[in-house]
C-alpha cells in the first residue's frame, strides 16, 4: 500500500511542520519550559524562525511566555489537543499573574513551585519584579522538600499516602536532607507543627541559602497538592512568625485566587 503523503497533490506546509516541532519540543522538556536557543537546538530550526512561530502560537493561545525569564511553555489550551499537558504547566500559567500581583502588596519576592523528585522546582517567580529581591535567576532552581518552606508546604500538606511514598525518595537524595528523612521523630514533628500552624516556614535551614527565611502555602486541586507558593525574605530583617503576621493573609488570598481560577478553567475546558 502506497504512502498517501507521497501521492498528495498538496504541498506540505513547512511552517506547520515547524510549529508542530516546537510544540513537540516543549511537551518533552524536563522542566516543562524552554528558551529560544534551547528550542532551536532541539528542533534544528533557526532562532529567528523559532521566535516568529512562537509569537503566532502565543497569539493563538497554545504557548505562553514567562514574564520572569522569558522562557516558553505550553498553555492550558493544548489540553484540548493532547493528554500530555501536565497540571503543573496549567497551574504555572494561571498562577504567574497572581504572584506578580502579590509582590506589589508585600514587596518581598515569591516563587511558584511544583514537585520534582525529592525537591520542588521553581516554575515561576516574582524575584525579577521585587525591589527587595537578592536573587534574579530563580526559574528551574530546585528547593529541598525538608529544609525549605516551599518544599515543606508540599511535604506536610500532601496526603499521608503520598508523603510515605516521598520519604524513601528523599532518603536517597544526595543532599543533607537525606539524613533528616531517616529521622522519624523529625518528620513527625515537622508535619505536626506545620499542619497545626497552617503554613510552612524555614529560617536558614537550607545550607545553600542560610541567610534567608520564608513562609509558604500549598495550592490544592481536587484534594491534592499540585504546587506551593512562598514568600522569601532576609532572616536578619524578618522572622517567619513576624512575616506570617504581616503577610500571610495576602499569601492566602493569592492561593485562593489561583485555586478558584483552576476550577474555572477546568469547567471551561470540559464544556
State the cell numbers at 160: 499521608
pLDDT of residue 246: 97
State the cell numbers at 59: 497569539
- Mean of pLDDT over the chain: 85
pLDDT of residue 170: 95
pLDDT of residue 90: 64
Q: What is the CATH number of domain 14-80?
A: 1.10.10.10
Overall fold of domain 87-270: Beta-Lactamase (3.30.450)
Q: Look at 30-39, 114-123, 128-137, 178-187 and tell me which has the smallest mean pLDDT.
A: 128-137
Over residues 143-198, the pLDDT tens digits come to 999 999 999 999 999 999 999 999 999 999 999 999 999 999 999 999 999 999 99
Give this prediction's pTM.
0.70
Contact assessment for residue 109 and residue 103, using Cβ atoms and an 8 Å cutoff? yes
Phi/psi at 22 (5° precision): -65, -45
Extents of the domains making up the chain: 14-80, 87-270
Amino acid at each position: 500500500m502506497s504512502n498517501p503523503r507521497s501521492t498528495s497533490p498538496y504541498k506540505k506546509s513547512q511552517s506547520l511542520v515547524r510549529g508542530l516541532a516546537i510544540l513537540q519540543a516543549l511537551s518533552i522538556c524536563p522542566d516543562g519550559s524552554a528558551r529560544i536557543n534551547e528550542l532551536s537546538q532541539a528542533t534544528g530550526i533557526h532562532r529567528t524562525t523559532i521566535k516568529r512561530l512562537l509569537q503566532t502560537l502565543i497569539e493563538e493561545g497554545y504557548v505562553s511566555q514567562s514574564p520572569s525569564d522569558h522562557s516558553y511553555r505550553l498553555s492550558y489550551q493544548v489540553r484540548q489537543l493532547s493528554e500530555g499537558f501536565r497540571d503543573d504547566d496549567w497551574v504555572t500559567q494561571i498562577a504567574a499573574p497572581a504572584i506578580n500581583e502579590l509582590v506589589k502588596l508585600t514587596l518581598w519576592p515569591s516563587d511558584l513551585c511544583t514537585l520534582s523528585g525529592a525537591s520542588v522546582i521553581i516554575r515561576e517567580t516574582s524575584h525579577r519584579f521585587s525591589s527587595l529581591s537578592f536573587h534574579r535567576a530563580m526559574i528551574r532552581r530546585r528547593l529541598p522538600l525538608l529544609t525549605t518552606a516551599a518544599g515543606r508546604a508540599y511535604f506536610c500538606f500532601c496526603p499521608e499516602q503520598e508523603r510515605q511514598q516521598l520519604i524513601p525518595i528523599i532518603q536517597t537524595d544526595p543532599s543533607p536532607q537525606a539524613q533528616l528523612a531517616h529521622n522519624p521523630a523529625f518528620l513527625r514533628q515537622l508535619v505536626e507543627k506545620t499542619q497545626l500552624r497552617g503554613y510552612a516556614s524555614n529560617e536558614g535551614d537550607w545550607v545553600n541559602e542560610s541567610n534567608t527565611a520564608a513562609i509558604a502555602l500549598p495550592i490544592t486541586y481536587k484534594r491534592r497538592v499540585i504546587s506551593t507558593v512562598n514568600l522569601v525574605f532576609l532572616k536578619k530583617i524578618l522572622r517567619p512568625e513576624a512575616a506570617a503576621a504581616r503577610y500571610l493573609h495576602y499569601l492566602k488570598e493569592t492561593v485562593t485566587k489561583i485555586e478558584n481560577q483552576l476550577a474555572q478553567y477546568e469547567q471551561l475546558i470540559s464544556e
